[in-house]
Amino acid sequence: MTEFRFVKVRAPGAWVWRTFRGVIFPLSIAIAETWMILMEIVSIGNQTITEFVLLGFYDVAELSLPFFIVFTLTYASIIAGNMLIIVAVVSSERLHTPMYFFLANLSFLEILYTSTVVPKMLEGFLQEAAISVAGCLLQFFIFGSLATAECFLLAVMAYDRYLAICYPLRYPLLMGPKWCLGLVVVAWLSGFMVDGLVVALMAQLRFCGLNHIDHFYCDFMPLMSLACSDPSAAQMTTFILSVVCLTVPFGLTLTSYARIVLAVLRVPAGASRRKAFSTCSFHLAVVSTFYGTLMVLYIAPSAVHSQLLSKVFALLYTVVTPLFNPVIYTLRNKEVHQALRRLLCIK
């Protein structure tokens, strides 16, 4: 009976950490520089509104305290689950392979982008959540960049699994350390470049009138509804970039999984085949939820007729998928389970 296993790529023990250091630090500098430029643009082009108020889930205000408790526990679980994966991958020599390198990057990315949105949402459950105009644009820039980077990274992870299953003998050559590093750097930088262009257009708009944003974070559509100047350039640019950055990675992801399924169908029915189908099903469910909700909100926003429904959809990709990704991607994974047991000193 054939059992599919990922082929380990031999690489120096510290290459995972060196890659994190090489990607994260330059991105931190780029974000700081973008923040300074953004402050200058906003101070010149926006003289009407100085801050926004995030209304959050004001229409169910009686549930503010229960929501605060639930989302606080959820946020803590997201941070803990993803941090465990990162520490396990970095500390375990056996996990220094492309599959786990990509998984550690995904975990780090989700820690960052949930931390960009959730703390402000929690503040809104207890008091008025005010945020400056520059701070609002910065929040959208960081969150949007990380979400876009995840779109590309999920496609890379699906492609990696396709190569590992369909070309196991050539896999070590096809997915060497330098190629893995290049794919991750491209995913991260693409996200920041794409959303940097959108935010540069948004920063030139004037905002006046009511300063209430009917959302729990600074999202694109609620912000555009408050613009006094013509937002058509920003809206058209966002639509085009959303179509490209969502449909292309999602299409590549579906193609990779389809080829994996075809390869698995050639295997005689048994435990290995059932396990492969089960794993693919869980992965596709989470990935489809992430891409699907983003497509609805950014490519076809007219399909959502209620702002409350829009917030619920936003919760799916800001809270739900980061919560389940660590579980889904490590489910039935003996290597990760063993690394976590050693890390937590569990026999």
| Residue-range domain boundaries for the chain | 15-344
DSSP annotation string for 280-347: HHHHHHHHHHHHHHHHHHHT-GGG---HHHHHHHHHIIIIIHHHHHHHHHHTT-HHHHHHHHHHHT--
Please answer whether residues 321 and 286 qualify as being in contact, where contact means their C-beta atoms are separated by less than 8 angstroms.
yes
Per-residue pLDDT at 190 exceeds 50: yes
Using alpha carbons, list the distances in angstroms from residue 14 to 93, 177, 180.
Answer: 9, 11, 14
**Band of residue 11 on the pLDDT scale cut at 50, 70, 90:** very low
Per-residue pLDDT at 271 exceeds 80: no
**Rounded Cα–Cα distance for residues 11 and 95 (Å):** 11
Per-residue pLDDT at 59 exceeds 70: yes
Look up residue 4 and give its DSSP letter.
Answer: -
Q: Which residues of 89-99 are buried (b: 16+ CB within 10 A; e: fewer)?
A: bbebeebbbbb
Position 23 scores a pLDDT of 54
Q: Among the residues of the chain, which ranges form H helices?
A: 15-45, 64-91, 98-126, 133-166, 171-174, 177-202, 220-224, 232-265, 271-298, 307-315, 321-330, 334-344
Position 194 scores a pLDDT of 94
Per-residue pLDDT at 35 exceeds 90: no
Per-residue pLDDT at 62 exceeds 90: no
CATH 2.60.120.10 fits 15-344, yes or no: no
**Rounded Cα–Cα distance for residues 181 and 187 (Å):** 10
**Rounded Cα–Cα distance for residues 264 and 133 (Å):** 52
- How much is the average pLDDT of 340-346? 74
Look up residue 227 and give its DSSP letter.
Answer: B
Other residues' Cβ atoms within 10 Å of the Cβ of residue 128: 10
* CA nearest to 249, candidates 188, 187, 329, 193: 187
Beta-bridge partner residues of 132: 51
Position 192 scores a pLDDT of 94
* CA nearest to 277, candidates 286, 267, 264: 264
Q: Among the residues of 92-132, which ranges form H helices?
A: 98-126
Q: State phi, psi for 54 to the nearest 5 degrees.
A: -80, 115
Per-residue pLDDT at 43 exceeds 50: no
The string of pLDDT tens digits covering residues 281-332 is: 788 888 999 999 999 989 887 766 678 888 989 999 999 999 988 888 776 6
**Rounded Cα–Cα distance for residues 172 and 11 (Å):** 10
Kindly report which listed range (39-48, 131-140, 285-294) carries the lowest average pLDDT score: 39-48
* CA nearest to 245, candidates 140, 148, 146: 148
User: For all residues of the chain together, what is the average pLDDT?
Assistant: 83
Structural tokens at position 259 = 């080829």
**Rounded Cα–Cα distance for residues 109 and 185 (Å):** 12
Structural tokens at position 125 = 């459950």
The string of pLDDT tens digits covering residues 241-262 is: 999 999 999 999 999 999 988 8
Position 228 scores a pLDDT of 87
* CA nearest to 35, candidates 155, 199, 171: 199
**Band of residue 343 on the pLDDT scale cut at 50, 70, 90:** confident
